Structure 1
Amino acid sequence: MNNELRTVWWEPGAVCLIDQLRLPHEQVMVRCTDLAAVGHAIKAMVVRGAPAIGCTAAYGLALVAMQSKATDGEALLQELEQARQVLNAQRPTAINLAWATARMLRQAHLLSAGGVEIARHGLLAEAHAILAEDLAMCHAIGDHGAVLIPARGHVLTHCNAGGLATAGYGTALAPIRTAFRQGRSLHVWVDETRPFLQGARLTAWELQQAGIPLTLITDNMAGYMMRQGQVDCIIVGADRIVANGDVANKIGTYSLAVLAHAHGIPFYVAAPSSTIDLSLAHGDLIPIEERSPDEVTQLAGQLIAPIGVRAAHPAFDMTPHHLITAIITEHGVLFPPYDDDLRRCVEAGN
């Protein structure tokens, strides 16, 4: 993968992941050798980021096929469908997960007529293709999005939409990486992204590894930086983009979009076509994952709130399309109104 960061990869008999719960202080590889382990890795956020979850789920189904004792195509298809349902249930908001498993099942139906062995190897090849396509899409997003970064290049980003969230190059970080490789002068404001600290633990680590200048800030400092004129644009990723251009992304994204609108700052969303869900008309229909309150009341296993206090933890929020300046995809930059361009983007990706 050209010496780029690997988030997920295949080794015989295992789906391999970099353990994102151990970063930035330890770089540990996890080998998932059965469906339960893959599902746990997705649910527990050992692997996270919509595209990376999709790649992991694709390899998870390939693993199920490799381990299956089915003797005919129909039995294998039933087993894969059950596994698809297990994986899809782990994290409901990011559409890339269901997109990848649906693609794998379609391929399984095509291959099963040729027998179980052909289906096994064909599904592994399809998972490899999904990973390779995601990496190519991320590089294309970088090419299209780099030109949107203003000359001074003070960019704010939220959560982690870098190589760790994808096959290896990133979505929101892709335009930043590309602009930096082109010799542009850049500085990135990195939201820490409570409560899981993906910005502080992961985005800051990625940018530091790449040599890109950054400053880590708490989430509630973003408005101050905007008012001080220290932010030229905002680039975030997405976990689902629906038909009208509404976007689901990590909790706190909507607040940034409102602040950007108030300060006249461009607000960009970067995502591959696999993140687009045309089946939903608007963002209020997106299922929002509710995670454990313990992730709010605890930090690195230490209790930071009074014992017994109630906490809420919606993991995502929805940003309405009218707050989004443009959506950066592998097929180009989309400007409002988004409806027709999003449809064409999906068609181009199929």
Structure 2
Amino acid sequence: MWARSASFILDKRLSASSSSPDSSMDANPNPGISAYYQTRAEHHAIVTSDWLAQAQAAVDPDSALQQDGPPACSASKPFSVIDEFNYWRKKPDLAEAVAAIMALAAVIRSSEATTMMELEIELKKASDTLKSWDTSSISLSAGCDLFMRYVTRTAALEYEDFNAAKHRLIERGEKFGGISMKARRTIAMLSQEFIFDGCTILVHGFSRVVLEVMKLAASNRKLFRVFCTEGRPDKTGLKLSKEIAALGVPVKLLIDSAVAYAMDEVDMVFVGADGVVESGGIINMMGTYQIALVAHSMNRPVYVAAESYKFARLYPLDQKDLEPALRPIDFGVPIPSSIEVETSARDYTPPQYLTLLFTDLGVLTPSAVSDELIRLYL
């Protein structure tokens, strides 16, 4: 789609999925709105329960009466990796990449393959199905790729008894899922040395791993305050501000355009990431880039909290060098059809504006990310 895409941009396989007889099962239930953004809306957004239905009706009025969610399961229905993935991803505290990892582990358990080659082919097909379900989700694609590398990385599997090899794959898959689910706690512990008494922290949007960092700091009786951006249009900053206030931490809520105004009171910026790319930069919620620019100009450190399953083999060259993640935007007033509205949900922050990345692999400088990616994927 993008003529300027770098060589590591993930392939979309749209032609393959559209020609499959089961492609209807893999389709985005709300065309016109990125599945990536639908997942964020379900987990984080401060919206009414019928928000997605209203947004879908604006895109396709004929589909407004359709029911969301996977079809009902029956005893005779074959295993579906998409249904398994949807079951896990609807859990509010589970990241989309971890949901994909758990779904792929279920593929191994339910497989009826009789050889390692058949099992690996089946697992690869399931991974491709998940990645094509939402090509705009960086963490989903990275999680699938890392899972495939982790469970099949040794040639010794080819010489074992098939049942023993399959059992080992199941153990590895479950272990990888367990490691991924513990990543936030590890990151929170690593970040505590950088949060000092009396500091003011600026956060943007709603990040579960950043919230975990704040929770641990509060439980350690550190004295700090937090500035939360509003996070329009879904106002995810409102939810984060309420969560942090419930910890007994002083919180101030800012409109997104007040970041530069408030930056002289800030000691550090803490943000999450939808994806960490090979350059050491991050893909995150729209507005992260401009916050990093302001912080850099005023010599404030920008810290990123991101799990290792979000490390992706991507090398964006500019803001438009990514698969777009679209979202509906309501300005509260009628917008003439002749006016174009920017609907992208995220931006790219280059590595030169980031100070450190807190990951479950350790505390990294942006320049060290490429080395860790080589270790993870090779």
What TM-score, normalized to structure 1? 0.71
**CA–CA distance in 2 between the matches of 1:99 and 1:219?**
29
Counterparts of 1:213-224 in structure 2, within 5 Å, are 213-224=250-261
Equivalent position to 1:197, from 204, 214, 235: 235
**CA–CA distance in 2 between the matches of 1:39 and 1:204?**
30
In structure 1, the gaps of 5 or more residues are: 1-16, 163-169
Residues 242, 283 of structure 1: 8 Å contact kept: no
* Corresponding residue for residue 178 of structure 2: 132
Change (3 A) 1:149 1:318: same
Q: Deviations over 1:273-315 (max 9, x none)?
A: 33334x445553995342345x2138xxxx7543746432222
Amino acid paired to 1:98: S
Q: CA deviation at 1:57?
A: 0.3
Q: What is the aligned length?
A: 307
Q: CA deviation at 1:124?
A: 4.7
* Corresponding residue for residue 291 of structure 1: 325
Report the secondary structure of 1:284's partner residue: coil
Q: Within the alignment, does 1:236 sit opposite 2:265 as a pair?
A: no
Q: Within the alignment, does 1:154 sit opposite 2:200 as a pair?
A: yes
* Corresponding residue for residue 56 of structure 2: none
Q: CA deviation at 1:185?
A: 0.9
Q: Deviations over 1:52-93 (max 9, x none)?
A: 121100111123334444454443333322221121134445
Residues 250, 316 of structure 1: 8 Å contact kept: yes
Q: Within the alignment, does 1:20 sit opposite 2:43 as a pair?
A: yes
Report the secondary structure of 1:89's partner residue: helix
* Corresponding residue for residue 306 of structure 1: 335
In structure 2, the gaps of 5 or more residues are: 1-38, 50-68, 74-79
* Higher strand content, 1 or 2: 1
* Corresponding residue for residue 347 of structure 2: 317
Q: Greater RCO between the two (CA within 8 Å, min separation 6)?
A: 2
Report % sequence identity.
23
**CA–CA distance in 2 between the matches of 1:271 and 1:287?**
21
Amino acid paired to 1:234: V
Equivalent position to 2:299, from 264, 269, 275: 264
Residues 274, 346 of structure 1: 8 Å contact kept: no
Equivalent position to 2:98, from 55, 60, 72: 55
Q: CA deviation at 1:193?
A: 1.8
Amino acid paired to 2:223: S
- Bigger drift between 140-149 and 179-188 goes to 140-149
Change (3 A) 1:75 1:276: closer
Residues 47, 53 of structure 1: 8 Å contact kept: no
Larger Rg: 2
Cα RMSD for the two superposed structures: 3.9
Q: Deviations over 1:216-240 (max 9, x none)?
A: 33322322222xx332211111222
What TM-score, normalized to structure 2? 0.66
